[in-house]
Amino acid sequence: MASGDWQRKLVDWLRGRQGPDDLAVFAINLAVVLVVVNLFARTSWLAWVGLALVAYGAFRIQSKNLGARSRENEAFLKALGPARPWVQNPRAAWGELRHYKHARCASCKQRVRVPRGKGKLRVTCPRCGSKFEVRS
C-alpha cells in the first residue's frame, strides 16, 4: 500500500472526529514522559498511568462527540493559565522567553513586553500612558 493511500484513509477516518487536540496531545506526551521516567524508576503503577493516558488521548482523538471534547479542551487550556503557551507551542514559548522580558506597569498593572538585552528602556504604558524604566 502506498503511503499516500494510507494518509487518505486516515483523513477519511478522522472526518467528523475530534482529532488530536491540545488535551489529547498533552495526555500522550505526558504518557511518553512517564514511560521514560519509568525506565529508570521501575514502578508498575507509572506504566499503568502512562497506558491510561495513551488510552485517554486515543479516546479523545477518535471521539465523535465534538461539543463535549471541545468544552473539555477549553477548560483544560483555561486551567493551564500562564503555562498555556508552554503546552501549546513550547518552541515559541521558549523563543518568547529568550527574546522578550515582561514588565508590569506600576500604576495600572498592565503587562508590557520589552526586548531583552537593550539596556535601560523608557517604556510608555499602552493602557494608561504612564512612563517608567525597565532594565531589559
| Smallest distance, Zn ion to C-beta of residue 131, A | 9
Q: With respect to Zn ion, which residue has the nearer C-beta, 118 or 127?
A: 127
| Smallest distance, Zn ion to C-beta of residue 121, A | 15
Q: With respect to Zn ion, which residue has the nearer C-beta, 110 or 136?
A: 110
Interface residues with Zn ion (CB under 5 A) are: 105, 108, 110, 125, 127-128
| Smallest distance, Zn ion to C-beta of residue 86, A | 26
Q: With respect to Zn ion, which residue has the nearer C-beta, 75 or 108?
A: 108
List of long-range contacts for 24-31, beta carbons under 8 Å, 24+ apart: 24/56, 24/57, 24/58, 24/60, 24/61, 25/57, 26/76, 26/87, 27/53, 27/54, 27/56, 27/57, 27/60, 28/53, 28/54, 28/57, 31/57
